[in-house]
Amino acid sequence: MKDNKNVEAPDSNLQRPTSKKTWNLAPGTWNPNSSPLEPRTSYPKLLTLIILGLILTLTLSFVIADSPALSTIESMMDIIKSDYYKDVDDEVLIRGAIDGMFKVLDPHSGYYNNKEFQELQASLSGEFSGVGMQVERKNDRVTVVSPIEGTPAFKAGIATGDIILSVDGKDIKDLPLDQAVALIRGEAGTKVKLEVVKADKGDVVYIELIRQMIKLDSVKTTSIYNQTIDKYTADKRIGYIRITEFDQGTADDFKALLEKYKKEGKKGLIIDLRYNPGGLLSTVVDMCKEIIPEGPIVHIDTKGDKNDEVYSSTLKTPPFKIVVITNEGSASASEILTGAVKDSGVGKIVGTKTYGKGTVQTMGYLTNGDGVKMTIAEYLTRNKIHIDGKGIMPDVEVKPQAPEELANVKADRDLTKGIVGLDVYGIQQRLQDLGYKITTDGILDTSTIEASGKLLNKTMTKIIKEDQKAIVKKYEETKITNIVDIELKTAVDEMIKLLK
């Protein structure tokens, strides 16, 4: 659920170790006089232990053994040290070898140096500095799993399926995912420029974002359009919860809201998982135990036949009928909850097909401060359905209304009467959508200036850069409040049917 899917990170179903497990790394020695093709008899044990030790199991054990493969690696390091035209540090070569090993695995496994590992752990706590999106490596490209609501990435229109080509001009195609993520992240208040291929049209755009501290409020009672359920029903039997991510505090907040709804006599619960990229396995299982009827929640299928595990609910009588809202950004832990609801028959799924992330990761600690995140299992839904790479189809498919295409307002020049441009057209589109009777021809006329003045409650003879930004902001605030959330409306209709 959270893989390098941390924000500006990768994606996975994270299973955290119950106690801090470590791998011991011996320092070893280095023999500068060994011949290029002859393996060192006293080669640093660090590489040997890492390469042989990165066999991660649920107990995070490792094995050390001699092998021809290790001899080859040692020889290649000798050749590079001896014949490559530039000096290369041992640390760089070792990290390259490790990254190469992880690159041939799935996109959710990775090796992290001390700083990277601390950032990964920080992202699990629900607070970090970045731009606010979950990413994974898909088809050898850094691909957005989901933007996080309210963050710079979300506000800039970065969407599920968008591909990040470069960060501040640096091509990230061949970088390990964790290194690409490290480039996107950074100190709050600093700028980062992303080259992005948009998923919907394939256009390449450049987006400049200002990093900020991302604090995830993972349990909400307002929709992705900042609306309450009261807009769509007066039926007080129905409660609404939106989960943005399954982090460490999500289960407690979820349970508290459930208790509130029980006291209010609610019988139906709509759970909105749109753009929820996942989180911690333990969190989603804990939450499912409160709403899923007795039986399996999820099956964890590990290597071999004897290590499989089943997480189950003992709930005799579920307190609510359930409707879950999903979309293409609902991944990982979101799909565990979605699958449990669908397979158990306690409710229905409304929206569009989920992302299709069906693997589980765990983290291991190294005594040198570095860390490893490794895919250790596949999860199957309650009815043992494989969803990795497939997703979960909703019972009632509802696609959101396609957003209107609006011309970009760059706000890089003042607009005076008679001036022509796409920025003028963009201003006119937004004013017309807000109900102002003006012509949308891209030519700034008196009516457009007057309408702008009425919207901003000021007298204007031209539209300066600051006013253009204010018009766009005002439009976005007003439009998102007035939009009809067809997915939520349909979820309410389906819940009313369930409660009859």
Q: How far is CA 229 from CA 218, 241, 269, in A?
A: 18, 10, 11
d(CA 208, CA 306): 50
Strand partners, 22: 365
99 catalytic residue (yes or no): no
Both tokens of 470, joined, read: 């204010």
Can you tell me the distance from the alpha carbon of 196 to that of 203, in angstroms, rounded to the nearest whole number? 8
355 touches 329 (CB < 8 A): yes
114: which 2 tokens?
A: 């001390």
User: Annotated catalytic, 357?
Assistant: yes
Out of 75, 129, 332, 334, the active site residue is 332
Provide the 10 A C-beta neighbour count for residue 397.
12
The residues with which 128 forms a beta bridge, in sequence order, are 214
Which of 162, 247, 301, 343 is catalytic? The answer is: 343
Three-state SS for 204?
strand
Q: Could you confirm whether 500 is annotated as catalytic?
A: no
Torsion of CA 313, 315, 319, 320, to 10 degrees: 40
Phi-psi region at 349: left, alpha or beta (left = phi > 0; alpha = psi -120 to 50): beta
Query: Which of the following is catalytic: 2, 220, 321, 357?
Result: 357
CA gap 26, 288 in Å, rounded: 43
Work out the end-to-end distance of the chain between its first and last CA atoms, rounded to an integer number of angstroms: 35
Provide the annotated active-site residues: 332, 343, 357
